[in-house]
């Protein structure tokens, strides 16, 4: 389990690093999609911090990688291919919006899951403490009864 979490975290870190390295290359891209990409990356990181499962993060990373591939295609197009460029830009924006919505949903679900897990852990600790208190009280009561019976069974032998 921890290896898969470490692998997923590593994959996200590499993807984010790759996006930061390629961000100067994407300077010619329209101004509205770059803040969107940054916002999506922040939302994915927020979902990870909230406790998202590795398979959920893996899916988001795969989708971000597909957006990165679309941006590479966008950069490789010449300025004469305006139709293709606008189509790819629309596809990139739609993909980013879908990833953003999914990251926010995963963030909410992971936060609720984490809250529930914490509540169960704390409740279990309280129940364990109560059970321990009751058991120790019962055992000390049994010990007192045993010692009382034993004291009454002693024979006094004069010397």
What integer pLDDT is reported at residue 9 of this predicted model? 64
* Number of domains into which the chain is organized: 1
What integer pLDDT is reported at residue 123 of this predicted model? 94
- Residue 102 falls within a domain, yes or no? yes
What integer pLDDT is reported at residue 11 of this predicted model? 58
Percent of the chain predicted with pLDDT > 70: 78
- Residue 126 falls within a domain, yes or no? no
Structural domain range at position 72 = 2-121
Quote the tokens at residue 78: 């010449």
Position 25 pLDDT exceeds 50: no
In angstroms, rounded to a whole number, what is the distance separating the alpha carbons of residues 142 and 27?
Answer: 79
Position 10 pLDDT exceeds 90: no
What integer pLDDT is reported at residue 158 of this predicted model? 81
What integer pLDDT is reported at residue 116 of this predicted model? 92
In angstroms, rounded to a whole number, what is the distance separating the alpha carbons of residues 87 and 91?
Answer: 6
- Residue 114 falls within a domain, yes or no? yes
- Find the length of the chain: 159
- Whole-number Cα distances in Å, 83 to 18, 112, 155: 28, 44, 109
Q: What is the pTM of this model?
A: 0.61
- In the predicted model, what is the mean pLDDT of residues 23-46? 66
User: Who wins on pLDDT, 33 or 41?
Assistant: 41
- Residue 42 falls within a domain, yes or no? yes
- Residue 109 falls within a domain, yes or no? yes
- Residue 112 falls within a domain, yes or no? yes
Per the prediction, the chain carries an average pLDDT of 82
- Residue 128 falls within a domain, yes or no? no
Q: Tens of pLDDT along 89-136?
A: 899 999 999 999 999 999 999 999 999 999 999 999 999 999 999 999
- Residue 97 falls within a domain, yes or no? yes
> For residue 77, how many other CB atoms are within 10 A of its CB?
14
């Amino acid at each position: 389990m921890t290896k898969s979490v470490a692998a997923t975290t590593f994959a996200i870190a590499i993807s984010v690093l790759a996006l930061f390295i390629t961000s100067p290359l994407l300077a010619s891209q329209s101004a509205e999609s770059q803040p969107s990409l940054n916002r999506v990356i922040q939302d994915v990181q927020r979902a990870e911090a909230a406790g998202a499962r590795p398979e959920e993060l893996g899916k988001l990373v795969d989708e971000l990688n597909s957006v990165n591939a679309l941006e590479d295609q966008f950069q490789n197009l010449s300025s004469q291919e305006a139709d293709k460029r606008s189509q790819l830009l629309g596809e990139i924006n739609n993909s980013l919006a879908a990833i953003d919505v999914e990251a926010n949903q995963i963030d909410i679900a992971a936060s609720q899951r984490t809250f529930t897990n914490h509540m169960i852990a704390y409740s279990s600790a309280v129940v364990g403490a109560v059970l321990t208190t009751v058991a120790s009280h019962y055992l000390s009561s049994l010990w007192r009864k045993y010692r009382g019976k034993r004291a009454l069974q002693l024979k006094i032998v004069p010397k």
